């Protein structure tokens, strides 16, 4: 079996590794892939051989959908499995309420993502909607609350009632692999325990045995526009459909198990 992955980023690399362990042959675009995205001949050749296609490429800043705008015609005629990594940002702000795949989309700040999500669904894709992604520091960029604490970039913001959902990257890989046998549609892949960012940071500090950062207002924290946007929405992401239809259950049901695995992996990397 052969899979073509558009965009071999952090999550896609974990998915590729899991599929390769299952005997899949993986081709991919991106700086770490083996195909140049703009090489239409190479992409068309890989598509012709592929049994499955997965895109992890987000919308461009101008709202364009890079993969569908470039290769949409070829994908419309593709008869294999199609997957797309989307975002739970499509649900917008729910005031802390639970959202599932039947909840309204398109009301938040992620309008371009919502449009891409809809276009891939119309193509018959399995669309995996992901919340905050974390995992081991495998590429030196820092992918968890542990890394933010180590680098002094962790914040505790005074917004009572604010909650977020998150998912470990290995749970994404597991969900996509299980989705290979699932019907088309949207699937939320989130862990079982939405909570405040403050709780997460406090636990990470406890694990690293360092003081917690002070509580600040958004203005005092001087966050980037992207980070401020993170706090503009408040929701809990339900994962029941993925459990029922995919047979998926998170390996790391809460951030506690996930951060423990990250710390163990980071320690092993340091020792290596």
pLDDT value of residue 224 = 85
Residues 263-272 have a mean pLDDT of 66
Q: Are 112 and 139 in contact (CB under 8 A)?
A: no
Confirm whether pTM is higher than 0.75. yes
- Name the band, by pLDDT with cuts 50, 70 and 90, for residue 271: very low
User: Is pLDDT of 272 > 50?
Assistant: no
Enclosing domain of residue 202: 2-271
Top pLDDT among 204 and 219 is at 204
Q: Are 47 and 27 in contact (CB under 8 A)?
A: no
Helical segments of 153-208, H only: 169-179, 197-208
Q: What is the mean pLDDT of the chain?
A: 94
Residue 37 Rama label (left phi>0; alpha psi -120 to 50; beta): alpha
User: Is pLDDT of 111 > 70?
Assistant: yes
The alpha carbon of residue 184 and the mean position of all alpha carbons in its chain are separated, in whole angstroms, by 18
Work out whether the CA dihedral 109, 70, 187, 136 comes out positive or negative. negative
pLDDT value of residue 267 = 64
Cα separation, 95 vs 261, in Å, equals 31
Specify the CATH number for the domain of residue 218. 3.40.50.720
pLDDT value of residue 270 = 52
User: Is pLDDT of 138 > 90?
Assistant: no
Please state, in angstroms and as integers, the Cα–Cα distance from residue 219 to each residue in 158, 163, 201, 215, 228, following that order: 10, 19, 19, 12, 9
Q: Are 14 and 167 in contact (CB under 8 A)?
A: no
Cα separation, 89 vs 129, in Å, equals 8
The number of distinct structural domains making up the chain is 1
Residue with tokens 């695995």: 261
- Name the band, by pLDDT with cuts 50, 70 and 90, for residue 63: confident
The DSSP string of 36-63 is -TT-HHHHHHHHHH-SEEEE-PPPPTTS
Residues 14-24 have a mean pLDDT of 97
* Tens digits of residue pLDDT in 155-206: 999 999 999 999 999 999 999 999 999 999 999 999 999 999 999 999 999 9
* Tens digits of residue pLDDT in 36-56: 999 999 999 999 999 999 999
User: Is pLDDT of 234 > 70?
Assistant: yes
CA atoms within 13 A on the CB side of 12: 25
Top pLDDT among 107 and 175 is at 175
Render the burial of 137-152: b for 16+ CB within 10 Å, e for the rest.
beeeebbbbbbbbbee
- Name the band, by pLDDT with cuts 50, 70 and 90, for residue 222: confident
């Amino acid at each position: 079996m052969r899979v073509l992955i558009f965009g071999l980023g952090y999550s896609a690399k974990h998915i590729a590794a899991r599929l390769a362990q299952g005997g899949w042959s993986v081709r991919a675009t991106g700086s770490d892939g083996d195909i140049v995205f703009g090489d239409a001949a190479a992409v068309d050749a890989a598509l012709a051989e592929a049994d499955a296609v997965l895109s992890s490429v987000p919308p461009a800043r101008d709202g364009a959908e890079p993969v569908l705008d470039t290769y949409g015609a070829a994908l419309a005629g593709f008869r294999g499995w199609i997957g797309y990594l989307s975002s739970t940002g499509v649900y917008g702000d729910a005031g802390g309420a639970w959202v599932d795949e039947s909840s309204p989309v398109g009301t938040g700040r992620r309008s371009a993502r919502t449009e891409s999500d809809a276009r891939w669904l119309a193509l018959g894709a399995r669309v995996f909607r992901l919340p905050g992604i974390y995992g081991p520091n495998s590429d030196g960029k820092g992918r968890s609350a542990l890394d933010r604490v180590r680098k002094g970039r962790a914040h505790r913001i005074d917004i009572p009632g604010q909650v977020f959902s998150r998912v470990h990257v290995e749970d994404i890989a597991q969900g996509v692999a299980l989705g290979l046998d699932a019907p088309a549609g949207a699937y939320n892949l989130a862990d079982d325990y939405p909570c405040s960012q403050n709780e997460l940071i406090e636990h990470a500090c406890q694990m690293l045995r360092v003081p917690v950062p002070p509580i600040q207002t958004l203005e005092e924290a001087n966050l980037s526009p992207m980070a401020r946007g993170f706090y503009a929405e408040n929701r809990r992401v339900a994962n029941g459909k993925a459990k029922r239809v995919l047979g998926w259950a998170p390996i790391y049901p809460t951030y506690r198990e996930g951060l423990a695995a990250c710390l163990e992996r980071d320690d092993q990397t340091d020792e290596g």
